[in-house]
Amino acid sequence: MHIVFAASECVPFIKTGGLADVVGSLPKEVAKSGHQVTVYIPFFRQVQSHFPEKKIAISSITIPFEDYNRFVAVVDGGKIDGVQYYFIDCPELFDREGVYSTAAGDYLDNWERFGLFCRSVLEASKELGVPDVFHVHDWQAAMLPVYLRTIYYFDPALRNAGTVLTIHNAGYQGWFPPETTKKLLLPWEIFTMDKLEFYNTFNFLKGGVVYSDMLTTVSHTYAKEIQTPEYGNGLESTLQKRGSDLRGILNGVDYSKWDPESDGKIAAHYTPADLSGKAECKKDLLHAFGASHVNEDAVVLGMVSRLATQKGFDLTAQIIERLVHENIFLIVLGTGEPYYENLFRSLDERFPEKISVRIAYDETLAHKVLAGSDIYLMPSRYEPCGLNQIYSLRYGTVPVVRATGGLEDTVEEWNPEAQTGTGFKFANYYADDYLKAVQRALGVFRDKETWQTLMRNGMAVDYSWTKPAVEYVAVYEEVARRRS
């Protein structure tokens, strides 16, 4: 089969979140199994730095709007690890400082930017290869199935192409004014409650949910959660209608980059058979965060995250004053909502002997936190999949997580009698429940032999892309059968 991925992000070219990791890894794994794979992303300014000399695959595609045209080129990114990369080049829309927004807020023409991207991928595919299946990701690419089943319905070149939409986070949907319908040259009959209309807005993600042949999301539990009012963000009834076509497929991780046995960003390497390097990584981490005064018996708690309510930073702030009485040291790395950035700066100032906060995005430091911490905290309000808890397992850094989404699916509660499990979980979104889970972890930490068993349990778990890729190929085959 030929699979075309369409997404707004892909490592190593552009990344703002976990979507980029998936689109950077899954296509390569699918290609390994013998399928033809192509990836399209916008030619953002950040992407351009990877291609100082542009190789043009298509010099000009005309994309019509209500009363004007845009002219798009397609840049050939070449073939890497069996995957062909193409970039949609429209400088007036994509050559900007931000990817989706500036400090002042989202770009007001995001409807045009990503509407154009979706239509350009369809047009480019007619010249560069129509796939058996278009695999589109999140709201930014969700208009592709809508276009395919409306404006392009009678296009013979695209008639048999199927579509799969992966929802990485149902909290981001792409809401725009109703007139977006005519601005994108779409028929008004799709602006209804059972199609794209959502409380009198034009909803990109809802369109993708309605018009895609099949849907996936990034963990088994999140697939169930998004069909409920608590997690569906208003799309739960639409997702319930498509429930038989919705699959939960857990994201994998790239162990070539995240493995303490080979990681070039950490102070010492270690394995389940020889954990001695972990102590050196802990010492290096404390030095990097200006905390060399912390005694070696202290339990280092690590967090690498976007500082946001979704990530449970309100809960963490609530338990800090009780935690500081324990023999712990908390390290926080990340950027995010100004409220939480300022709150955690103030906690750092209040408790310098117990907390070190770095408001920054730093990939090297992230590796150091994963390797050097004893316990990794991830108390998310919701978490479609999550990657850092999976990384933490591989690094023998025991996770304490809320039992939601991918956190529920990837972390098994420690069972002291059976000596099984990989971490500690709490179900209700309450500070007291979170604190109790952390205290359970601290209690086990005091028994070094038991703790090493717990560490090794986590390090032995395999969350590579091999199994998810097989599950995705099964979805592609099902869609292709339906369209044949």
Q: Which of 364, 366, 370, 320 is nearest to 340 (CA)?
A: 320
Q: What is the mean pLDDT of residues 317-337?
A: 94
Task: Give me 279's structure tokens.
Answer: 């102590």
Q: How confident is the model at residue 361 (pLDDT cuts 50, 70, 90)?
A: confident
Condensed to tens digits (0 to 9), the pLDDT of residues 427-453 reads 999 999 999 999 999 999 999 999 999
Rg (CA), the chain: 23
Q: Class assignment of domain 2-252+466-483?
A: alpha beta
Condensed to tens digits (0 to 9), the pLDDT of residues 55-92 reads 999 999 999 999 999 999 999 999 999 999 999 999 99
Condensed to tens digits (0 to 9), the pLDDT of residues 28-45 reads 999 999 999 999 999 999
Residue ranges of the chain that CATH labels 3.40.50.2000:
2-252+466-483, 277-460
With beta carbons less than 8 A apart as the criterion, state whether 178 and 192 touch.
Answer: no
Q: What is the topology classification, in CATH, of domain 277-460?
A: Rossmann fold (3.40.50)
pLDDT value at residue 17? 83
How far is 177 from 253, CA to CA, in rounded Å?
Answer: 37
With beta carbons less than 8 A apart as the criterion, state whether 416 and 477 touch.
Answer: no
At 292 the three-state DSSP class reads coil
Query: Quick one: DSSP state of residue 429?
Result: -
Distances in whole angstroms, Cα of residue 217 to Cα of each of 165, 248, 310, 427, 468: 8, 5, 18, 21, 11
Cis peptide before 338, with omega less than 30 degrees from 0?
no
Q: Which of 373, 457, 379 is nearest to 413 (CA)?
A: 457
Helices and strands (DSSP H and E) totals, the chain: 20, 20
Neighbours of 236 (CB within 10 A): 17
Q: Output the DSSP codes for 249-280.
A: ------TTTS-TTT-TTSSS---SS--THHHH
The whole model's pTM is what? 0.93
